[in-house]
Protein backbone atom coordinates (compact mmCIF):
# COMPACT_ATOMS: atom_id res chain seq x y z
CA UNK A 1 0.00 0.00 0.00
CA UNK A 2 1.17 3.52 -0.82
CA UNK A 3 1.74 5.90 2.07
CA UNK A 4 1.74 9.68 2.13
CA UNK A 5 1.97 12.35 4.80
CA UNK A 6 -0.63 14.41 2.92
CA UNK A 7 -3.03 13.37 0.15
CA UNK A 8 -4.45 16.23 -1.93
CA UNK A 9 -7.61 15.34 -3.82
CA UNK A 10 -7.67 17.47 -6.97
CA UNK A 11 -4.71 18.51 -9.09
CA UNK A 12 -5.93 21.88 -10.36
CA UNK A 13 -4.33 25.21 -9.51
CA UNK A 14 -5.44 25.09 -5.85
CA UNK A 15 -4.23 21.54 -5.21
CA UNK A 16 -0.96 22.25 -7.02
CA UNK A 17 -0.36 25.39 -4.93
CA UNK A 18 -0.96 23.46 -1.70
CA UNK A 19 1.50 20.79 -2.82
CA UNK A 20 4.15 23.38 -3.66
CA UNK A 21 3.73 25.29 -0.40
CA UNK A 22 3.93 22.05 1.61
CA UNK A 23 7.09 20.90 -0.17
CA UNK A 24 8.58 24.38 0.09
CA UNK A 25 8.10 24.15 3.86
CA UNK A 26 9.83 20.77 4.01
CA UNK A 27 6.93 18.31 3.76
CA UNK A 28 8.12 16.02 0.95
CA UNK A 29 5.78 13.01 1.07
CA UNK A 30 2.84 14.69 -0.66
CA UNK A 31 0.57 12.89 -3.13
CA UNK A 32 -1.84 14.66 -5.49
CA UNK A 33 -4.70 12.47 -6.70
CA UNK A 34 -6.25 13.72 -9.96
CA UNK A 35 -9.13 11.84 -11.57
CA UNK A 36 -8.50 13.22 -15.07
CA UNK A 37 -5.74 12.07 -17.40
CA UNK A 38 -4.34 15.61 -17.35
CA UNK A 39 -4.44 18.28 -14.67
CA UNK A 40 -6.42 21.43 -15.38
CA UNK A 41 -9.35 19.80 -17.18
CA UNK A 42 -11.71 21.12 -14.49
CA UNK A 43 -12.13 24.79 -13.65
CA UNK A 44 -8.44 25.74 -13.88
CA UNK A 45 -8.22 25.45 -17.65
CA UNK A 46 -11.48 27.38 -18.10
CA UNK A 47 -10.75 30.34 -15.81
CA UNK A 48 -10.74 33.97 -16.94
CA UNK A 49 -7.48 34.38 -15.03
CA UNK A 50 -8.25 37.69 -13.36
CA UNK A 51 -6.49 38.70 -10.13
CA UNK A 52 -7.60 41.65 -8.01
CA UNK A 53 -7.35 43.05 -4.54
CA UNK A 54 -10.39 45.31 -4.92
CA UNK A 55 -12.68 43.35 -2.61
CA UNK A 56 -15.18 44.29 0.08
CA UNK A 57 -14.05 42.03 2.96
CA UNK A 58 -10.82 41.95 4.93
CA UNK A 59 -10.09 38.27 4.37
CA UNK A 60 -10.44 38.49 0.57
CA UNK A 61 -8.29 41.62 0.45
CA UNK A 62 -5.56 39.92 2.49
CA UNK A 63 -5.65 36.74 0.40
CA UNK A 64 -5.44 38.81 -2.78
CA UNK A 65 -2.52 40.89 -1.54
CA UNK A 66 -0.51 37.76 -0.70
CA UNK A 67 -1.44 36.13 -4.00
CA UNK A 68 -0.73 39.12 -6.26
CA UNK A 69 2.65 39.70 -4.63
CA UNK A 70 3.38 35.99 -5.11
CA UNK A 71 2.36 36.13 -8.78
CA UNK A 72 4.60 39.14 -9.34
CA UNK A 73 7.56 37.04 -8.11
CA UNK A 74 6.39 33.66 -9.49
CA UNK A 75 8.67 33.46 -12.54
CA UNK A 76 11.76 34.29 -10.49
CA UNK A 77 10.92 32.12 -7.47
CA UNK A 78 9.81 29.01 -9.33
CA UNK A 79 11.63 29.39 -12.64
CA UNK A 80 8.26 28.89 -14.33
CA UNK A 81 5.95 31.40 -16.09
CA UNK A 82 2.78 32.67 -14.40
CA UNK A 83 1.80 35.05 -17.18
CA UNK A 84 1.12 37.82 -14.64
CA UNK A 85 0.15 41.05 -16.40
CA UNK A 86 -0.52 43.96 -14.03
CA UNK A 87 -2.84 45.88 -16.33
CA UNK A 88 -5.29 46.65 -13.54
CA UNK A 89 -9.00 46.31 -12.83
CA UNK A 90 -11.21 49.29 -13.66
CA UNK A 91 -14.62 49.39 -11.99
CA UNK A 92 -16.95 51.74 -13.88
CA UNK A 93 -19.75 53.29 -11.81
CA UNK A 94 -22.98 54.67 -13.27
CA UNK A 95 -24.91 55.30 -10.05
CA UNK A 96 -24.11 57.31 -6.90
CA UNK A 97 -24.57 54.11 -4.87
CA UNK A 98 -21.81 52.47 -6.93
CA UNK A 99 -19.40 55.29 -6.10
CA UNK A 100 -20.23 55.13 -2.41
CA UNK A 101 -19.71 51.37 -2.47
CA UNK A 102 -16.31 51.74 -4.15
CA UNK A 103 -15.25 54.49 -1.69
CA UNK A 104 -16.22 52.33 1.28
CA UNK A 105 -14.29 49.39 -0.14
CA UNK A 106 -11.28 51.61 -0.83
CA UNK A 107 -11.10 52.71 2.81
CA UNK A 108 -11.03 49.06 3.89
CA UNK A 109 -8.48 48.13 1.22
CA UNK A 110 -6.15 50.94 2.28
CA UNK A 111 -6.44 49.90 5.92
CA UNK A 112 -4.81 46.61 4.91
CA UNK A 113 -2.00 48.33 3.03
CA UNK A 114 -3.36 48.39 -0.52
CA UNK A 115 -2.12 51.86 -1.36
CA UNK A 116 -2.21 51.50 -5.14
CA UNK A 117 -6.02 51.41 -5.45
CA UNK A 118 -7.68 54.76 -6.08
CA UNK A 119 -10.91 56.43 -7.12
CA UNK A 120 -10.97 57.73 -10.69
CA UNK A 121 -13.09 60.32 -12.51
CA UNK A 122 -15.03 59.91 -15.73
CA UNK A 123 -12.24 61.76 -17.54
CA UNK A 124 -9.69 59.34 -16.08
CA UNK A 125 -11.76 56.41 -17.29
CA UNK A 126 -12.28 57.70 -20.82
CA UNK A 127 -8.61 58.62 -21.10
CA UNK A 128 -7.71 55.02 -20.23
CA UNK A 129 -10.40 53.38 -22.40
CA UNK A 130 -11.69 56.00 -24.89
CA UNK A 131 -13.99 53.49 -26.60
CA UNK A 132 -16.36 53.26 -23.62
CA UNK A 133 -19.76 54.92 -23.90
CA UNK A 134 -19.36 57.46 -21.13
CA UNK A 135 -22.49 59.64 -20.98
CA UNK A 136 -23.75 57.84 -17.86
CA UNK A 137 -20.37 57.17 -16.20
CA UNK A 138 -19.91 58.97 -12.86
CA UNK A 139 -16.46 57.65 -11.97
CA UNK A 140 -14.99 54.45 -10.66
CA UNK A 141 -12.00 52.80 -9.05
CA UNK A 142 -8.74 51.45 -10.41
CA UNK A 143 -5.87 49.38 -9.03
CA UNK A 144 -2.78 48.99 -11.25
CA UNK A 145 -1.46 45.89 -9.49
CA UNK A 146 -4.64 43.97 -10.32
CA UNK A 147 -4.52 42.17 -13.64
CA UNK A 148 -4.40 38.67 -15.13
CA UNK A 149 -2.45 35.42 -14.91
CA UNK A 150 -2.42 32.20 -16.92
CA UNK A 151 -3.95 29.68 -14.48
CA UNK A 152 -2.88 26.63 -16.49
CA UNK A 153 0.74 27.79 -16.53
CA UNK A 154 0.61 28.53 -12.80
CA UNK A 155 -0.77 25.05 -12.08
CA UNK A 156 1.92 23.48 -14.26
CA UNK A 157 4.65 25.50 -12.56
CA UNK A 158 3.49 24.67 -9.05
CA UNK A 159 3.25 20.97 -9.94
CA UNK A 160 6.66 20.79 -11.61
CA UNK A 161 8.43 22.44 -8.69
CA UNK A 162 6.55 20.36 -6.10
CA UNK A 163 7.44 17.10 -7.85
CA UNK A 164 11.09 18.17 -8.04
CA UNK A 165 10.96 18.26 -4.25
CA UNK A 166 9.43 14.81 -3.91
CA UNK A 167 5.69 15.30 -4.34
CA UNK A 168 3.93 12.77 -6.57
CA UNK A 169 0.92 13.01 -8.85
CA UNK A 170 -1.49 10.17 -9.58
CA UNK A 171 -3.46 10.98 -12.73
CA UNK A 172 -6.52 9.06 -13.99
CA UNK A 173 -7.12 8.07 -10.35
CA UNK A 174 -10.56 8.68 -8.90
CA UNK A 175 -11.11 8.65 -5.16
CA UNK A 176 -13.73 6.05 -4.27
CA UNK A 177 -13.61 6.05 -0.46
CA UNK A 178 -12.04 7.86 2.48
CA UNK A 179 -11.25 5.64 5.46
CA UNK A 180 -11.63 6.75 9.08
CA UNK A 181 -10.74 5.20 12.41
CA UNK A 182 -13.27 4.61 15.24
CA UNK A 183 -12.62 8.10 16.63
CA UNK A 184 -13.43 9.65 13.24
CA UNK A 185 -9.90 10.52 12.15
CA UNK A 186 -8.55 9.99 8.65
CA UNK A 187 -6.62 6.77 8.05
CA UNK A 188 -6.51 6.48 4.27
CA UNK A 189 -7.92 6.97 0.81
CA UNK A 190 -9.16 4.37 -1.67
CA UNK A 191 -8.73 5.15 -5.36
CA UNK A 192 -9.20 3.40 -8.70
CA UNK A 193 -5.40 3.10 -8.78
CA UNK A 194 -5.06 1.61 -5.31
CA UNK A 195 -5.17 2.41 -1.62
CA UNK A 196 -3.14 5.11 0.17
CA UNK A 197 -2.40 5.17 3.87
CA UNK A 198 -2.46 8.73 5.23
CA UNK A 199 -3.56 10.72 8.25
CA UNK A 200 -4.17 13.96 6.33
CA UNK A 201 -6.47 14.55 3.35
CA UNK A 202 -6.99 17.91 1.63
CA UNK A 203 -10.16 18.36 -0.40
CA UNK A 204 -9.20 20.51 -3.41
CA UNK A 205 -11.79 19.03 -5.77
CA UNK A 206 -13.29 22.30 -6.98
CA UNK A 207 -16.94 22.03 -8.05
CA UNK A 208 -16.90 18.34 -7.03
CA UNK A 209 -15.88 19.18 -3.45
CA UNK A 210 -19.22 18.21 -1.90
CA UNK A 211 -19.04 14.70 -3.38
CA UNK A 212 -15.50 14.22 -2.06
CA UNK A 213 -16.49 15.47 1.39
CA UNK A 214 -19.45 13.09 1.41
CA UNK A 215 -17.00 10.17 1.16
CA UNK A 216 -15.92 11.16 4.67
CA UNK A 217 -19.55 11.69 5.79
CA UNK A 218 -19.07 15.47 5.72
CA UNK A 219 -21.84 17.80 4.52
CA UNK A 220 -20.03 20.52 2.58
CA UNK A 221 -22.24 23.29 1.13
CA UNK A 222 -20.48 23.75 -2.22
CA UNK A 223 -22.47 23.77 -5.47
CA UNK A 224 -21.45 24.01 -9.14
CA UNK A 225 -22.59 27.02 -11.18
CA UNK A 226 -21.87 27.36 -14.89
CA UNK A 227 -20.07 30.48 -16.11
CA UNK A 228 -19.50 31.12 -19.80
CA UNK A 229 -16.76 33.07 -21.56
CA UNK A 230 -16.75 34.39 -25.11
CA UNK A 231 -13.45 35.26 -26.83
CA UNK A 232 -13.65 37.57 -29.81
CA UNK A 233 -11.78 37.11 -33.04
CA UNK A 234 -8.71 39.37 -33.47
CA UNK A 235 -9.79 42.98 -32.91
CA UNK A 236 -7.62 46.08 -32.84
CA UNK A 237 -10.29 48.72 -32.26
CA UNK A 238 -9.22 48.96 -28.59
CA UNK A 239 -5.75 48.96 -27.06
CA UNK A 240 -4.60 45.60 -25.73
CA UNK A 241 -2.95 47.38 -22.80
CA UNK A 242 -6.26 48.27 -21.16
CA UNK A 243 -7.27 46.82 -17.76
CA UNK A 244 -10.06 44.43 -16.95
CA UNK A 245 -13.13 46.68 -17.29
CA UNK A 246 -16.19 46.01 -15.14
CA UNK A 247 -19.46 47.76 -15.97
CA UNK A 248 -21.19 47.98 -12.59
CA UNK A 249 -24.50 48.72 -14.31
CA UNK A 250 -24.99 45.05 -15.18
CA UNK A 251 -21.77 43.20 -14.33
CA UNK A 252 -20.50 42.88 -17.90
CA UNK A 253 -16.70 42.75 -17.94
CA UNK A 254 -13.98 42.23 -20.50
CA UNK A 255 -10.23 42.14 -20.88
CA UNK A 256 -7.62 41.75 -23.61
CA UNK A 257 -6.90 38.15 -24.59
CA UNK A 258 -4.45 37.18 -27.32
CA UNK A 259 -5.29 39.31 -30.38
CA UNK A 260 -8.88 39.84 -29.29
CA UNK A 261 -10.85 40.29 -26.09
CA UNK A 262 -12.50 37.98 -23.58
CA UNK A 263 -16.13 38.86 -22.77
CA UNK A 264 -17.93 37.77 -19.59
CA UNK A 265 -21.20 38.36 -17.81
CA UNK A 266 -22.87 36.67 -14.85
CA UNK A 267 -26.23 35.56 -16.25
CA UNK A 268 -28.74 35.80 -13.37
CA UNK A 269 -30.89 33.15 -15.05
CA UNK A 270 -28.17 30.51 -14.72
CA UNK A 271 -29.06 27.64 -12.36
CA UNK A 272 -27.03 25.30 -10.18
CA UNK A 273 -25.79 22.09 -11.80
CA UNK A 274 -22.91 20.29 -13.49
CA UNK A 275 -23.53 21.97 -16.83
CA UNK A 276 -20.31 22.26 -18.80
CA UNK A 277 -21.71 22.69 -22.31
CA UNK A 278 -21.60 26.17 -23.79
CA UNK A 279 -25.08 27.58 -24.45
CA UNK A 280 -25.01 29.38 -27.84
CA UNK A 281 -27.77 31.82 -26.85
CA UNK A 282 -25.35 33.33 -24.32
CA UNK A 283 -23.41 34.97 -27.16
CA UNK A 284 -26.27 37.30 -28.01
CA UNK A 285 -26.73 38.17 -24.33
CA UNK A 286 -23.10 39.09 -23.75
CA UNK A 287 -22.68 40.89 -27.10
CA UNK A 288 -25.74 43.02 -26.36
CA UNK A 289 -24.18 44.23 -23.10
CA UNK A 290 -20.79 44.59 -24.73
CA UNK A 291 -22.15 46.87 -27.47
CA UNK A 292 -24.09 48.93 -24.93
CA UNK A 293 -20.91 49.88 -23.08
CA UNK A 294 -18.39 49.61 -25.93
CA UNK A 295 -20.11 50.68 -29.15
CA UNK A 296 -17.25 49.49 -31.38
CA UNK A 297 -17.92 45.95 -30.13
CA UNK A 298 -21.15 46.04 -32.14
CA UNK A 299 -19.23 44.72 -35.13
CA UNK A 300 -16.76 42.46 -33.35
CA UNK A 301 -16.54 38.93 -34.74
CA UNK A 302 -17.14 35.90 -32.51
CA UNK A 303 -16.68 32.22 -33.34
CA UNK A 304 -19.14 30.21 -31.21
CA UNK A 305 -16.86 27.16 -31.46
CA UNK A 306 -14.16 29.02 -29.50
CA UNK A 307 -16.46 29.99 -26.62
CA UNK A 308 -16.49 27.81 -23.53
CA UNK A 309 -18.17 27.08 -20.22
CA UNK A 310 -16.64 26.30 -16.85
CA UNK A 311 -17.88 25.78 -13.32
CA UNK A 312 -17.68 28.08 -10.31
CA UNK A 313 -17.70 26.28 -6.96
CA UNK A 314 -20.19 28.37 -5.02
CA UNK A 315 -20.31 28.57 -1.24
CA UNK A 316 -23.34 30.03 0.58
CA UNK A 317 -21.50 33.30 1.37
CA UNK A 318 -19.25 33.44 -1.72
CA UNK A 319 -16.15 33.03 0.44
CA UNK A 320 -13.79 30.10 0.31
CA UNK A 321 -13.95 27.31 2.88
CA UNK A 322 -10.47 26.76 4.31
CA UNK A 323 -9.23 24.67 7.17
CA UNK A 324 -9.85 21.52 9.19
CA UNK A 325 -13.20 19.85 9.72
CA UNK A 326 -13.59 19.80 13.50
CA UNK A 327 -15.13 16.35 13.93
CA UNK A 328 -13.01 14.61 11.26
CA UNK A 329 -9.39 15.01 12.40
CA UNK A 330 -7.01 15.13 9.45
CA UNK A 331 -9.58 16.31 6.87
CA UNK A 332 -8.88 19.79 5.46
CA UNK A 333 -10.99 21.86 3.06
CA UNK A 334 -9.80 24.17 0.29
CA UNK A 335 -13.12 24.75 -1.41
CA UNK A 336 -15.94 27.12 -2.33
CA UNK A 337 -13.89 29.86 -4.00
CA UNK A 338 -16.90 31.17 -5.92
CA UNK A 339 -14.82 32.25 -8.91
CA UNK A 340 -11.68 33.26 -7.00
CA UNK A 341 -9.78 29.96 -7.02
CA UNK A 342 -7.08 30.94 -9.52
CA UNK A 343 -6.90 34.41 -8.01
CA UNK A 344 -6.38 33.15 -4.45
CA UNK A 345 -4.45 29.94 -5.17
CA UNK A 346 -1.09 31.18 -3.77
CA UNK A 347 -2.67 32.38 -0.52
CA UNK A 348 -4.67 29.17 -0.24
CA UNK A 349 -1.55 27.05 -0.64
CA UNK A 350 0.26 29.02 2.03
CA UNK A 351 -2.69 28.98 4.44
CA UNK A 352 -3.34 25.23 4.08
CA UNK A 353 0.37 24.46 4.38
CA UNK A 354 0.55 26.55 7.54
CA UNK A 355 -2.58 25.02 9.06
CA UNK A 356 -1.47 21.45 8.32
CA UNK A 357 2.01 21.95 9.74
CA UNK A 358 1.50 24.55 12.47
CA UNK A 359 -2.23 24.94 13.10
CA UNK A 360 -2.11 28.68 12.43
CA UNK A 361 -1.25 31.15 9.67
CA UNK A 362 -0.31 34.81 9.26
CA UNK A 363 -1.68 35.29 5.72
CA UNK A 364 -5.01 36.50 7.10
CA UNK A 365 -5.78 37.98 10.49
CA UNK A 366 -8.51 35.52 11.41
CA UNK A 367 -8.47 32.31 9.38
CA UNK A 368 -11.21 30.87 11.61
CA UNK A 369 -13.65 33.10 9.70
CA UNK A 370 -13.20 30.73 6.74
CA UNK A 371 -13.69 27.54 8.76
CA UNK A 372 -16.12 24.89 7.48
CA UNK A 373 -17.83 25.16 10.86
CA UNK A 374 -19.14 28.67 10.14
CA UNK A 375 -22.20 27.42 8.28
CA UNK A 376 -23.54 25.29 11.12
CA UNK A 377 -22.88 28.19 13.49
CA UNK A 378 -24.63 30.70 11.23
CA UNK A 379 -21.50 32.88 11.06
CA UNK A 380 -21.47 33.59 7.35
CA UNK A 381 -19.32 36.25 5.72
CA UNK A 382 -20.70 38.62 3.12
CA UNK A 383 -18.80 39.49 -0.05
CA UNK A 384 -20.57 41.80 -2.48
CA UNK A 385 -17.71 42.31 -4.95
CA UNK A 386 -18.44 39.09 -6.87
CA UNK A 387 -18.10 38.81 -10.65
Q: Hey, which bits of the chain come out as E strands? A: 2-3, 6-9, 30-33, 50-51, 89-93, 118-120, 139-143, 147-148, 168-170, 175-180, 186-191, 194-197, 201-203, 223-231, 244-247, 253-257, 260-264, 308-314, 321-324, 331-335
| Total residues found in the chain within this entry | 387
Close Cβ partners of 164 (under 8 Å, ≥ 6 residues apart) = none
Query: What is the chain's pLDDT, residue by residue, as a tens digit (387 residues)?
Result: 899 999 999 999 999 999 999 999 999 999 999 999 888 888 888 899 999 999 999 999 999 999 999 999 999 999 999 999 999 999 999 999 999 999 999 999 999 999 999 999 999 999 999 999 999 999 999 999 999 999 999 999 999 999 999 999 999 999 999 999 999 999 999 999 999 999 999 999 999 999 999 999 999 999 999 999 999 999 999 999 999 999 999 999 999 999 999 999 999 999 999 999 999 999 999 999 999 999 999 989 999 999 999 999 999 999 999 999 999 999 999 999 999 999 999 999 999 999 999 999 999 999 999 999 999 888 888 767 665
Give me the pLDDT at residue 44, please.
Answer: 84
> Domains in the chain, ordered, with CATH?
2-48+151-222+316-377 (3.50.50.60), 85-146+224-314 (3.30.9.10)
**Are 46 and 262 a contacting pair, CB within 8 Å?**
no
Residue 4 buriedness (CB in 10 A; 0-12 / 13-18 / 19+): buried
Of the candidates 263, 216, 215, which has an alpha carbon nearest to the alpha carbon of residue 238? 263
The CA-to-CA distance between both ends of the chain, in Å, stands at: 44
**Are 56 and 34 a contacting pair, CB within 8 Å?**
no
Residue 96 buriedness (CB in 10 A; 0-12 / 13-18 / 19+): exposed
**Are 70 and 13 a contacting pair, CB within 8 Å?**
no
Give me the pLDDT at residue 386, please.
Answer: 60
The whole-angstrom separation of Cα 325 and Cα 209 is: 13
Give me the pLDDT at residue 385, please.
Answer: 66
What DSSP letter does each residue of 287-323 carry, written as one string? HHHHHHH-GGGGG--B-GGG-EEEEEEE-TTSS-EEE
The whole-angstrom separation of Cα 55 and Cα 312 is: 18
Q: In angstroms, how far apart are the furthest CA atoms of the chain? A: 67
**Are 246 and 89 a contacting pair, CB within 8 Å?**
yes
Give me the pLDDT at residue 43, please.
Answer: 85
Q: What is the pTM of this model?
A: 0.96
The whole-angstrom separation of Cα 243 and Cα 228 is: 20
Of the candidates 190, 102, 107, 104, which has an alpha carbon nearest to the alpha carbon of residue 142? 102
The whole-angstrom separation of Cα 170 and Cα 354 is: 24
Amino acid sequence: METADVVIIGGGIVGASIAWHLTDAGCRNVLIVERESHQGKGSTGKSMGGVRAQFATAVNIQMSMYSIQFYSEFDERLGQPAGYRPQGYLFVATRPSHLEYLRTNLILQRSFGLQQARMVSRDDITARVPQLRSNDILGGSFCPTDGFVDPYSVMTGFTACATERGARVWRSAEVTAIRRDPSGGITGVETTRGAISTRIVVNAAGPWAAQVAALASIDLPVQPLRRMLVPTEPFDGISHEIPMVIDMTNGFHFRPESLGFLLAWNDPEETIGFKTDFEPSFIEKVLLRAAERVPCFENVAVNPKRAWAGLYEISPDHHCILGPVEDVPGFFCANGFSGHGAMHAPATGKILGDLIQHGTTTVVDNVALLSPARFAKGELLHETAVL
